[in-house]
Homo-oligomer: A and B are copies of this chain.
Amino acid sequence: MREGRAPDELRPVTIETDYVEQADGSAMISFGRTRVLCTASVEEGVPRWLQGSRRGWLTAEYGMLPASTGTRAGREASAGKQRGRTVEIQRLIGRSVRAVYNLAALGERTIWLDCDVVQADGGTRTAAISGAWVALALAAKRRDLPLPASEVAAVSVGLAGGEILLDLEYEEDVAAQVDMNVVMTADGRLIEVQATAEGDPFERAQFDQLIELGAAGIARVVEEQRRATTA
């Protein structure tokens, strides 16, 4: 793991746009071996509780292809139930992107952001947020809808073996004492912070270091998002 990568270094980030030509917007985003296919689909109409409000809705769904992890995980569709982790992640993606999107200006339309993990090696939820934003931006441009107010990107940071690390791979993630996901705008404002002690509780000072490192990583991801959407 890490394979010579510095503690404050991201894995190679690539974003391949328009991977699904028929979708309104799509991006295959990779953080090293972690690869997530993100699409944005625009639908006329809104859920019942918004009908007549003249506001739109934006929501996300997340899934992992069964073979995306080293060991096959059961398909949720055939189990007839999404796992708790899936539900938690898709709610996070939706909240994160809604923070920069003007639903009132969207009108009574729904934007679906689908994030499907093709290969998982740590950081799938933060890759999904970063890729979903790209798919949204592309769809908004193509369909002539309001553009997002800013980029939104996310990275994971963690404390493992006493070291503060950026962008954890799966094996680092398993070993981490603290696991943190940070979601920010391009200008460094916070959208969501989730920090969890996997083992022992942690100190405020460590928390501050983690969040700094996260901010630096996010700035790098935003550069890639800009490159992908202004091409």
Which A residues have a C-beta under 8 Å from some C-beta of B?
19-23, 26, 33, 37, 39-41, 43, 61, 63, 65-72, 75-78, 80-82, 84-88, 90-91, 95, 99-100, 112, 114, 116, 118-121, 150, 184-185, 188-197, 199-204, 207, 211
Say whether B192 contacts A195, CB under 8 Å.
yes
Q: Do B72 and A43 have beta carbons less than 8 Å apart?
A: yes
Instruction: Determine the distance from Cα of A70 to Cα of B197 in the docked complex, in whole angstroms.
Output: 33
Q: How far is the CA of A26 from the CA of B65 in the complex (A)?
A: 12
Is B37's CB under 8 angstroms from A65's CB?
yes
Inter-chain CA distance A77–B73, complex, in Å, is 14
The residue of chain B having its C-beta at the shortest distance from the C-beta of A41 within the complex is B72
Assess the B39–A65 pair: CB atoms within 8 A: yes
Q: Complex formed: what's the CA distance from A196 to B70 in Å?
A: 32
Contacts of A69 in B (CB 8 A): 22
